[in-house]
Structure 1
Amino acid sequence: MRAKEICVIYMISRKTCASAVLAFRPYISKGNQPAELFCFIALLLPATHRFQSFRYLRSVNTPSPCKTVKLARYSESTTVVVAEPVNEEADSESKTCGKILVFLSWVLVCLTMPFSLFICFKVVQEYERAVIFRLGRLLSGGAKGPGIFFILPCIDTYARVDLRTRTYDIPPQEVLTKDSVTVSVDAVVYYRVHNATISIANVENAHHSTRLLAQTTLRNTMGTRPLHEILSERETISGSMQLSLDEATEAWGIKVERVEIKDVRLPVQLQRAMAAEAEAAREARAKTLNTISAEKNSTIVFPLPIDLITYFLRAKEDSQSNL
Structure 2
Amino acid sequence: MEVALIVIVVVVVLAAILASSSLRLVQQYERGIVLRFGRLLSEVRQPGLRVMIPVADRMRKVSIQTIVLDVPSQGTITRDNVTIGVDAVVYFRVDDPVRAVINVENYVHATSQVAQTSLRSVIGRADLDTLLSDRARINDELRDVIDAPTEDWGITVERVEIKDISLPESMRRSMSRQAEAERDRRARVIAADGELQASSKLSEAAGTMSGTPGALQLRLLQTVTDVAAEKNSTLVMPFPVELLRFFEHMSGDRAASSPEPDEPAPVDHAGAEPLPDVPPAITTADPGDRP
Identify the TM-score tier after normalising by the shorter chain: 0.5 to 0.7
Q: Which amino acid aligns with 2:83?
A: T
- Residue 183 of structure 2 is aligned to residue 282 of structure 1: yes
Aligned residue number for residue 265 of structure 2: none
Spell out the pairing of 1:102-181 with structure 2 (5 A cutoff).
Answer: 112-141=14-43, 143-181=44-82
Question: Which stretch shows the higher mean deviation, 113-122 or 129-138?
Answer: 113-122
Q: Which amino acid aligns with 1:123?
A: L
Q: CA deviation at 1:150?
A: 2.0
Q: Structure 1 residues 111, 134: closer, same or farther in 2, change over 3 A?
A: farther
Aligned residue number for residue 79 of structure 1: none
Q: Structure 1 residues 312, 254: closer, same or farther in 2, change over 3 A?
A: closer
Q: CA deviation at 1:210?
A: 0.4
Spell out the pairing of 1:198-277 with structure 2 (5 A cutoff).
Answer: 198-277=99-178
User: In structure 1, how many angstroms separate the alpha carbons of the residues matched to 2:191 and 2:117?
Assistant: 51
User: In structure 2, how many angstroms separate the alpha carbons of the residues matched to 1:288 and 1:234?
Assistant: 29
SS of residue matched to 2:165: strand
SS of residue matched to 1:278: helix
User: In structure 2, how many angstroms separate the alpha carbons of the residues matched to 1:254 and 1:195?
Assistant: 7
- Residue 87 of structure 2 is aligned to residue 186 of structure 1: yes
User: In structure 2, how many angstroms separate the alpha carbons of the residues matched to 1:282 and 1:312?
Assistant: 38
Runs of at least 5 residues in structure 1 that lack an aligned partner in the other structure: 1-108, 303-307, 315-323
Q: Structure 1 residues 200, 291: closer, same or farther in 2, change over 3 A?
A: closer
User: In structure 2, how many angstroms separate the alpha carbons of the residues matched to 1:311 and 1:214?
Assistant: 72
TM-score, normalising length from structure 1? 0.55
| Structure (1 or 2) with the greater strand fraction | 1
Q: Which runs of 4+ in 1 moved over 3 A?
A: 109-115, 284-300, 308-314
User: In structure 1, how many angstroms separate the alpha carbons of the residues matched to 2:82 and 2:72?
Assistant: 19
SS of residue matched to 1:244: helix
User: In structure 1, how many angstroms separate the alpha carbons of the residues matched to 2:62 and 2:96?
Assistant: 9
Larger gyration radius, structure 1 or structure 2: 2
Q: Structure 1 residues 283, 154: closer, same or farther in 2, change over 3 A?
A: same
Runs of at least 5 residues in structure 2 that lack an aligned partner in the other structure: 1-10, 210-215, 223-291
SS of residue matched to 1:216: helix
Q: Which amino acid aligns with 2:137?
A: T
Q: Structure 1 residues 264, 116: closer, same or farther in 2, change over 3 A?
A: same
SS of residue matched to 1:113: helix
User: In structure 1, how many angstroms separate the alpha carbons of the residues matched to 2:100 and 2:111?
Assistant: 11
Q: CA deviation at 1:191?
A: 0.7
- Residue 211 of structure 2 is aligned to residue 309 of structure 1: no
TM-score, normalising length from structure 2? 0.61
User: In structure 2, how many angstroms separate the alpha carbons of the residues matched to 1:161 and 1:284?
Assistant: 58
SS of residue matched to 1:116: helix
Superposed CA deviations along residues 153-191 of structure 1, whole A, max 9, x for unmatched, are 222222111111110111111121111111111111111
Task: State the identity %.
Answer: 38
User: In structure 1, how many angstroms separate the alpha carbons of the residues matched to 2:119 and 2:14?
Assistant: 55
Aligned residue number for residue 50 of structure 1: none
